[in-house]
Structure 1
Amino acid sequence: MTQNRFDDGDEDDVPEWADRVMADVAREVRRRRKEMKWSAQDLADRCEAIGFPIPRNVIANMESGRRAVLPLVEVMVLAKALYTHPIHLIYPVGYVNEVQQLPLTHLVKPAEAMRWFANLDHSFTAGEHYMLRGHLSHEAAVLAALEAMRGESRQRQIAKQTPDDAERAQALRAQADFAERAAQAKAALRWERQDIYGRGGTLPDLPFSASDIDPPEGYERDTD
């Protein structure tokens, strides 16, 4: 793809950039729709089923470049309807060679633009936004705690029900191991929650089985 020429600071590039983004989305919507072997009406029906109708003629006008605007909410609904994600409509990695990330900028590879848009590093994991990383770490800590707690409960039941002394002893050892892992996971989760709250964030909800994680006195905000 050859880059369209523009002068840095040229205000005329702004609408050109907006048109380009909409065209990229429209092409990917059409490509994905064709891949699904759907008509425009099929896609319109899917959008209506989701709860945000986008009429067939609106979809057709978008795909043919006859729409002047493309609201973000429509991109979100179209992505859901097409069983994909909004970012894959905006930056269709593998289906276009280059995209213009922002006005007055040179073309870049879609993966580079996607990383910028979603705050991902080069390995496509969460970038330097501490709150995003904190919430992802919190989610992992919750899963680890729940897994250990389920393991402890399962081994406790085995130890309680088995008539075999050797099996009971083995289950009790496994229960103790899971209990230690659960305690460590809960401590890690408590630390993640303190970090999120201390930085001014909103604490994520906890599953009922982990509702005893938070200390009775709560957490403290950082005052620095």
Structure 2
Amino acid sequence: MTQRRSDHGYEKDDENDVLEWEDHVMATVAGEVRRRRKELGWSAQDVADRCEEIGYPIPRNVIANMESGRRAVLPLVEIMVLAKALRVSPISLIYPVGYVTEVRELPYQDPQPTWDALQWFVGNSSAEDATDYMLDHFLAHDLELRSALAAVESEDYELWKVKTAANRVQREAAERALARYTDQATRAKHELRRHRDAIREGGGIPPRLPSPLADLDPPEPDTGTTEENDL
């Protein structure tokens, strides 16, 4: 298969490029399934048994045909089940970082480092024309959530140190640290609220907050009424 770059991108020299790309993706997944299976010391039947336990049977011969390249299709749902059976994430089968150095993201594209392709796939490195703003807010929300949790935990710890300080010097040091972490927690909570509001404004539902940050959202309005209240 050859490709020629023109002023407007790639021109096909081989009409089978799309099929070759599909084969490339399937071969990558199949190779990682085989590698991981052998790493665990399992047979194809062992993998099939675990798929059945999950509730989505994939027969041994189907797995064997996939690994040998004799299978023409590989549904996404099977990648998900195989990943669960093999105790890895689905993304690790599609982009096996550390085991495959380069992959092709799409047809008519040159191979890219596997890590770069994985970042694109999970949304950490969006394409220039990407408009998945909801994903961007969720990724930012996750970062701010971790920051807020760390700051709140540190704030609680320094508060405990203030209360249990053995002398003035220890108490003053703890109070300074407490002020820093309180400021960090305040800023992190502000950013967290901002992203949660943006998610709602976009028609989405923000993730559930852990108990230390449960008071971050405004209380839900009480819509329940009784006949007595209506009178």
TM over 0.5: yes
User: How far is the alpha carbon of 1:72 from its aligned partner?
Assistant: 0.8
C-alpha distance in 2 between matches for 1:172 and 1:4: 65
Distance 1:187 1:107, change over 3 A: closer
Identity of aligned residues (%): 50
* Pair 1:200–1:175, CA change in 2 (3 A): same
- Cα distance change of structure 1 residues 161 and 101 upon mapping to structure 2, 3 Å threshold: same
TM-score by length of 2: 0.72
- How much has 1:75 moved relative to structure 2? 0.5
Cross-structure match for 1:214: 217
Partner in structure 1 of residue 136 of structure 2: 133
Is the contact made by 1:28 and 1:89 (CA closer than 8 Å) also made in structure 2? yes
Whether 1:88 aligns to 2:120 is no
Does structure 1 residue 165 correspond to structure 2 residue 165? Answer: no
> Residue type matched to 2:37 in 1?
R
Q: Is the Cα contact below 8 Å between 2:21 and 2:104 reproduced in 1?
A: no
In 2 relative to 1, CA 159–44 (structure 1 residues): closer, same or farther, beyond 3 Å? same
| Residues 171-208 of structure 1, C-alpha deviations (whole Å, 9 max, x = no match) | 23322322222212211211121222223322221112
CA gap of 1:97–1:159, structure 2 versus 1, over 3 A, is closer
Tell me which of 145, 149, 153 is aligned to 2:156: 153
Structure 2: which amino acid aligns with 1:176? A
1:221 maps to what in 2?
none
The equivalent of 1:73 in structure 2 is 77
Structure with higher strand content: 2
Name the CA shift for 1:121/1:202 in 2 (closer, same or farther; >3 Å): same
How far does residue 97 in structure 1 lie from its aligned partner after superposition?
A: 5.0
Distance 1:8 1:43, change over 3 A: same
Letter in 1 for 2:211: F
- The correspondence of residues 25-40 of structure 1 with structure 2, limited to 5 A, is 25-40=29-44
* Aligned-pair CA distance for 1:166: 2.5
Shift of 1:63: 1.5
TM-score (norm 1): 0.74
Q: How many residues align?
A: 211
Q: Can you give the 5+ residue segments of structure 2 that lack an aligned partner in the other structure?
A: 5-10, 222-231
Within 1, Cα distance between the matches of 2:216 and 2:105?
46
Q: Name the aligned partner's letter for residue 143 of structure 2.
A: A
Moved more, 8-17 or 186-195: 8-17
Instruction: Encode CA deviations 1:42-78: one digit per residue, 9 max, x unaligned.
Output: 3223434444332322211222233343221110121
CA contact (8 A) 2:144 2:192 kept: yes
Do the aligned partners of residues 188 and 95 (structure 1) sit closer, same or farther apart at CA in structure 2, a change above 3 Å counting? closer
The residue type equivalent to 1:81 in the other structure is A
1:104-157 deviation line (CA, Å, top 9, x unaligned): x355336365454334429x9xx7632222111111111211222212222222
* Contact 2:56–2:81 (8 Å) recurs in 1: yes
* 1:182 maps to which of 185, 194, 204: 185
Unaligned runs of 5+ in 1: 219-224
CA distance in 1 between counterparts of 2:119 and 2:144 reads: 25
Tell me the equivalent position of 2:61. 57
**Larger deviation, residues 35-44 vs 105-114:** 105-114
Q: 1:185 to 1:21 in 2, by over 3 A?
A: closer
Q: Residue 26 of structure 2 is aligned with which of 22, 26, 30? A: 22
Deviates further, 140-149 or 86-95: 86-95
Distance apart, 1:210 and its partner CA: 0.8
Q: CA separation of 1:3/1:84 partners in 2, compared to 1, >3 Å: closer, same or farther?
A: farther
